[in-house]
Amino acid sequence: MTELRCKVLIVGGGPGGYVAAIRAGELGLDTILVEADRLGGTCLNVGCIPSKALIHAADAVHALTEPHALNALGVSIAPPALDYARTIAWKDAIVTRLTTGVGALLKKAHVRSLRGRATLLDGKSALVHADTGEQRIHCEHLVIATGSEPMELAALPFGGDILSSTHALALTDVPRSLAVVGAGYIGMELGMAFAKLGTKVTIVEALPKILPLYDDELTQPVARSLADLGVETMLGARALGFADGALKVANAEGAGTTVAADKVLVAVGRRPRTSGFGLETLDLAMAGPFLRIDERCATSMRNVWAIGDVTGEPMLAHRAMAQGEMVAEIIAGERRAFDHLAIPAICFTDPEIVAVGLSPDAAKAAHGEILIGLFPFRANGRAMTKQADEGFVRVVARADNHVVLGIHAVGAGVSELSAAFSLALEMGARLEDIAGTIHAHPTESEAFHEAALKALGKPLHI
């Protein structure tokens, strides 16, 4: 057995783990990264990146199969044909390019990357099982970045025609019909993508609304888009089981019914990956199913750190990346603490949703009187020229000092506005700061400017 020693051992090569490793290596820390599968973790390989590739392909197909928008531009085309195998090959090529890039960045930072399954022996050592043999690694600092995995339902265990999001992204053919159990962001994103690819999609959600983490004002445009796509939505309904091409459902009234489906996508959330690698030997403090951490991502054991999905909500790749970068810098001797004020949440539905900071209700509960400015894209010239004038930008601020508390948007491509929204909250912007910043014309970002003006009571274009 090979014995290795390092300053920092990182278990998990997803967004949090590999970013922590790169930064640690850049700071001169002797670092080993252990990943059981492929670098990049769920996000890069079977989550964020491939799902967005599929969504883009679906958007392209939908634009060609719904010619009314193109006809308005004076464009007419022959009926398109979809070669889904080539679509998947294109998606996989993007993933390969990015995972190869992560490996190159780790090598450049002088990080030792090991492909194998780690078993923690204590807070200072781990055993790595690889095809080439076993290696015992001794470290001064241990970083746990094992991520999360899809949750399954007892009545709908994964396998065969019952899919997790990972399985859905690996399909080699577009299903004729698909039942999606769960109307959170994963179910909604993939459900809408497959609907655009020609699948008959039915969404089954136990709660009384879609996308329950967002307020109704943000989700109404998405609900209208679902209807336009012909997606049937069953709210307040529970999935009971699947057999012989039929999903058994108890509807909102409690009556039993069935949904015909070739495949069932179970998208009811994700759970932290805390088993299978010896975590129980560390006897760490837990916060429910998650590892408990403080504002520095330190666990209850000295020099044992945890980052990303295994530490709780929000389970977002960019949160994990920020935590990973911070932990590496703390180990290197810098003074850092994690600020969760401005973590953008994005739903890549049609239209997209962005939320940063507090919702209007949460802002009012926390700060009392508030100001709200909302500017619709139907009054934005750039949105009109893109045939994408559904949605709006909304700014929420304190009434007394105009400090911005939350920024939200729904519309085509609004994910690209998220950095501006986050920067405003991160820097403690007031409405006057946004209103006094010149926003380029014609761009969708003007809606951000106009929303701030509206909140101040001096709108220009509405």
Instruction: Please state the φ and ψ torsions of residue 397, each to the nearest 5 degrees.
Output: -140, 160
Closest CA to 332 of 13, 28, 15: 28
Contact criterion met (CB below 8 Å) for 165 and 190: yes
* Cβ partners under 8 Å of residue 278, min gap 6: 118, 119, 120, 121, 126
Concatenate the DSSP letters of all residues of 8-65 into one string. Answer: EEEE--SHHHHHHHHHHHHTT--EEEEESS-TTHHHHHHSHHHHHHHHHHHHHHHHHH
Task: Please give the Cα distance from 305 to 303 (Å, whole number).
Answer: 6
Token output for 447: 């809606």
Strand 200-205 and strand 232-235: the pairing is parallel
Q: Which amino acid is at 99?
A: T
Closest CA to 183 of 147, 156, 228, 223: 223
- Other CB atoms within a 10 A radius of the CB of residue 217 amount to 14
Contact criterion met (CB below 8 Å) for 30 and 7: yes
Contact criterion met (CB below 8 Å) for 111 and 24: yes
110 carries an active-site annotation: no
Token output for 42: 């769920």
The 3-state DSSP class for residue 399 equals coil
Question: Chain-centre distance of CA 430, in angstroms?
Answer: 28
Task: Please give the Cα distance from 356 to 373 (Å, whole number).
Answer: 15
Instruction: Catalogue the long-range contacts made by 427-433 (C-beta closer than 8 Å, 24 or more residues apart).
Output: 428/403, 429/403, 429/404, 430/397, 430/401, 430/402, 430/403, 430/404, 431/371, 431/373, 431/395, 431/397, 431/402, 431/404, 431/455, 431/456, 432/402, 432/456
The tally of CA atoms less than 13 A away on the side-chain side of residue 116 is 20
- Other CB atoms within a 10 A radius of the CB of residue 255 amount to 9
Q: Give me the catalytic one of 318, 441, 449, 461.
A: 441
Could you list the beta-strand ranges (E) of 298-377.
304-306, 345-347, 352-357, 370-376
Contact criterion met (CB below 8 Å) for 442 and 421: no
Closest CA to 377 of 392, 357, 360, 399: 392
Active site (catalytic) residues: 441
